[in-house]
Amino acid sequence: MSANRTFVIGDIHGCVDELNRLLDHLAPSGGDHLVFLGDYVDRGPGSREVIARLLGLKLEGPRCTFLKGNHEDMFLAFMGMPGRYGDAFLYNGGDATLRSYGVDRCPTPEIASRMPPEHLAFLQALELTQSLGGFLCVHAGVNPDRPLEAQEPEDLLWIRGTFIQKPHRFGVTVLFGHTPCREVLIDLPYKIGLDTGLVYGNKLSCLEVSARDLFQIRRGEVTVTRGRLEE
């Protein structure tokens, strides 16, 4: 595979085996850029292992951009840090995250101090958006009724129907996760949804932006498939 590629990867939710197999297949080099759309934690069994793998990836050479998902935001709020809806964390798969860190029986005020410092720093440093020329990467989507420069974090992390059902006039294709679909959601030129429900037994999806190549691996399988984004 050629260098200087840009990959955008959908929601992982603690499914570290599929993440590892995808990254091994892509074999990113120093000229590549990988953008992760958030939701690294919750529901799946390996949240800690996912974050450890992503931290290791940064040391392997490629440029990495890690966006914040609503699940990371809830996790931070649950630990008493800036974020939203911490009271909903456990009801949205957060118990699996706590188990992966071995803090499921730890009093809530002590959880942050029991987290590996580099993992906590990772969560606190997550970004909300990443521009890629004619593409905009964000976890959940954008509010089509607000200018891009006036988007609220609430929408960037949580929006669904208003964004998915309504065209926008921003002149970019939004690459997003958050809303799981059986197949990649394609609504060009407005949006491409890359959450294909890995943690629910479906697939992890990754788009190479310039070539429009689509890499996918199904939950529990070992083979990464490569196809073309169907327009």
Give the count of domains, the chain.
Answer: 1
* Residue 180 within a domain: no
Torsion angle in degrees (nearest 10) through CA of 160, 207, 12, 52: -130
150 assigned to some structural domain: no
Q: Is the Cα dihedral 15, 226, 67, 73 positive or negative?
A: negative
173 occurs within a structural domain: no
- Any domain includes 152: no
> What's the CA gap between 140 and 156, in Å, rounded?
5
Instruction: Give the global pTM.
Output: 0.96
Asked, for residue 151, whether it belongs to a domain, the answer is no
Q: Is residue 59 part of a domain?
A: yes
Domain carrying residue 48: 6-136+193-228
Please determine, for residue 2, whether its predicted confidence score (pLDDT) is greater than 60: no
Is position 179 within any domain?
no
pLDDT digits (tens, 9 = 90+) for 86-136: 999 999 999 999 999 999 999 999 999 999 999 999 999 999 999 999 999
**Which CATH number goes with the domain that contains 16?**
3.60.21.10
| Distances in whole angstroms, Cα of residue 118 to Cα of each of 15, 125, 134, 159 | 20, 10, 33, 29
Token pair in block for residue 180: 């799981």
pLDDT band at 1 (very low <50, low <70, confident <90, very high): very low
C-alpha span between 32 and 10 (Å, rounded): 17
CA torsion angle 208 214 218 219 (round to 10):
30
Is 197 contained in some domain?
yes
